[in-house]
Amino acid sequence: MKTLILGSGAREHAIAWAFSKSKSNAGVFCLPGNAATAELASNIHGDPENAAAVLKAARFSGSKMVVIGPEGPLAAGVADVLREAGIAVFGPGQAAAKLESSKAWAREFSDRAGVPAAATRYFTDYRTFNSWLSASPTSRMVLKKSGLAAGKGVLESADPDELCLFAKTVLDSDSMLVEEFLEGYELSIFALCDGEQYTLLPVCADHKKAFDGNKGPNTGGMGAICPVPGLEPGLLDLIDAAIISPTFKQLRKEGLMYRGVLFFGIMVTASGPKLLEYNVRFGDPETQSLLPLLSSDAIDLFWSAAGDSLGTLQTEYNSRAAVGITIAAPGYPGSYPAHIPVDALPEPNCNSLLFHAGTFRDSDGLLRTGGGRCFTAVGLGDDYFQAHNRALKLAQSVSFEGAWFRHDIGRKFSEF
Ligand code: AMP
Ligand code: GLY
């Protein structure tokens, strides 16, 4: 089968890498892809949020299935246009994509489903927020822009000045949620869904804070482990019963057909697991740690969610551990230099994989970075420690000016 993958990140590189090893692979295309996907697939220029351009690329390449990596094209309704044209799509339509593209709508939906989450208030104008804040006791709280923000729409703070500054910026153009600050640890749980049934993939944990020791500002994700060692027995069943199953039940009740992957960001608190957010796609960097553990055929698995083969969602995994470390540009998650020349890259092997994010080759053939998060270095091993050592070694051998990464991805889970 020929397949088309939308996106250019390390997540999409990992999907293309898994597809390139599939026995069902008859050609992988990426739109727009990056310097590394160009080597294992065929890149097609274009804007993944432009449905007409994507449809043209799917037809031109003869792709039977389109996998939508990032949230932008899902929110723009690209999946609906492709499905109407008879092309199978891994990813929900625009109506269900509101679970991610509108945090306000998503929280109302999760309330209708009876899913436990942080206590939340909504604001649509700055004055109302400001008078509410002035009348409230000072406490740590979480402010969230309702619409898409590429991982940068959340502020945790107890400082009224900082809260007001952030709220003013958000409320100039969007609505805003204010949530109670939840203490606990975070898990990323992925459910593949074929429109009727769902199946859970191995649990991952992302690390959102920029610096070692979970310090610094929030980022899109500085590294992820899969599986998560030391989880309490029964925790996953509890999350399924309290959060995942009610969500799919509510989607059916509201007539929202869901094909693809639904990502549940969960905070495990002292009073039980709570939903932080829904995402309507795979996580980045989680996917880079998850897919190397898959022993089922990747194209067949994605097809079982996107195609017409209901009831065939089956996943098998090897028993290895994976640790993925994000290598970032200097200044990220603030402003950072664009297009930094990459001086040296390690040779990947069967225990370490390097996934590129947005890299490209300039007119002289020189590899350059393409964003704030530039690579994911994934180490595989018999256990967390071996995988972590291999990931660190790999990350250290990626060289470009100002490259940096966290050294403690997964460590807190290894101490459970
Ligand atoms: P979200 O985009 O809603 O997942 O938020 C991004 C990150 O902010 C999450 O992965 C958490 O690390 C943090 N966060 C979001 N909501 C809360 C909350 N209510 N309490 C504590 N941390 C939160
Ligand atoms: N790793 C978090 C995300 O993909 O949103």
Whether 15 maps to a domain, the answer reads: yes
Residues having CB closer than 6 A to ligand 2 are: 151, 206, 221, 279, 283-284, 286
CA distance 281 to 100: 9
Number of the ligand 2 atom closest to the C-alpha atom of 277? 5
Structure tokens at 273: 């697991």
pLDDT band at residue 150, thresholds of 50, 70 and 90? confident
Name the 3-class secondary structure at 339.
coil
Q: Determine the distance separating the centroid of ligand 1 and the alpha carbon of 207, expressed in angstroms.
A: 11
pLDDT surpasses 90 at 68: yes
Residue 103 has pLDDT above 80, yes or no: yes
Instruction: Find the ligand nearest to 185 CA.
Output: 1
- Tell me the per-residue pLDDT of 181-218, one tens digit each, with 9 for 90 and over: 999 999 999 999 999 899 999 999 999 999 999 999 99
**Six token digits for residue 382:** 């018999």
- 49 and 11 fall within a common domain: yes
Give the C-alpha separation, 219 to 329, whole Å. Answer: 12
Q: Is residue 91 part of a domain?
A: yes
Q: How far is CA 390 from CA 246, 252, 325, in A?
A: 39, 43, 10
pLDDT > 60? residue 310:
no
Q: Is 333 left (phi over 0), alpha (psi -120 to 50) or beta?
A: alpha
Domain boundary among 151, 180, 209: 180
| Nearest alpha-carbon partner for 156 in 217, 102, 106, 107 | 217
Residues 84 and 15 in one domain: yes
Residue 300 lies in a domain: no
Residues 368/360, Cβ–Cβ less than 8 Å: yes
User: What integer pLDDT is reported at residue 144 of this predicted model?
Assistant: 95
- pLDDT at res. 360: 97
For residue 170, give its domain range: 119-180
Minimum-distance ligand 1 atom for the alpha carbon of 153: 2
Ligand 2: which atom is nearest the Cα of residue 224? 1
Residues 126 and 174 in one domain: yes
For residue 71 and ligand 1, the question of a CB distance below 6 A is answered with no
Which residue's C-alpha comes closest to atom 4 of ligand 2? 283
Spacing, Cα 77 to ligand 1 middle (Å): 26
Is there a domain that residue 204 lies in? no
Q: Are residues 25 and 87 in the same domain?
A: yes
Q: Name the residue with tokens 């996953």.
A: 236
Same domain, 140 and 91: no
Q: Rounded mean pLDDT of 15-33? A: 98
Please state at what angle helix 103-112 crosses helix 245-253, rounded to 10 degrees. Answer: 100
Q: Looking at the domain assignment, is residue 258 inside a domain?
A: no
- Best of 145, 276, 278 for a ligand 1 pocket test (most atoms within 8 Å of beta carbon): 276
In a domain, 53, yes or no: yes
Model-wide pTM > 0.85: yes
Cα separation, 328 vs 331, whole angstroms = 8
Percent of the residues in the chain that have a pLDDT greater than 70, as a whole number: 99
CATH, residue 27: 3.40.50.20
Q: Which of 286, 287, 288, 376 to mutate to test the pocket of ligand 2 (most atoms within 8 A of CB)?
A: 286
**Minimum-distance ligand to the CA of 261?**
2
3-state secondary structure 204-216: EEECCEEECCCEE
Q: Is residue 16 part of a domain?
A: yes
Structural domains in the chain (count): 2
Residue 82, domain member (yes or no) = yes
pLDDT value of position 138: 84
Query: In angstroms, what is the span from residue 11 Cα to ligand 2's centroid?
Result: 10
The domain that contains 147 carries what CATH number? Answer: 3.30.1490.20
Q: Are 11 and 285 in contact (CB under 8 A)?
A: yes
- Dihedral angle computed from the Cα positions of residues 22, 310, 280 and 192, in that order, rounded to the nearest 10 degrees: -60
> What's the chain's Rg over C-alpha atoms?
21
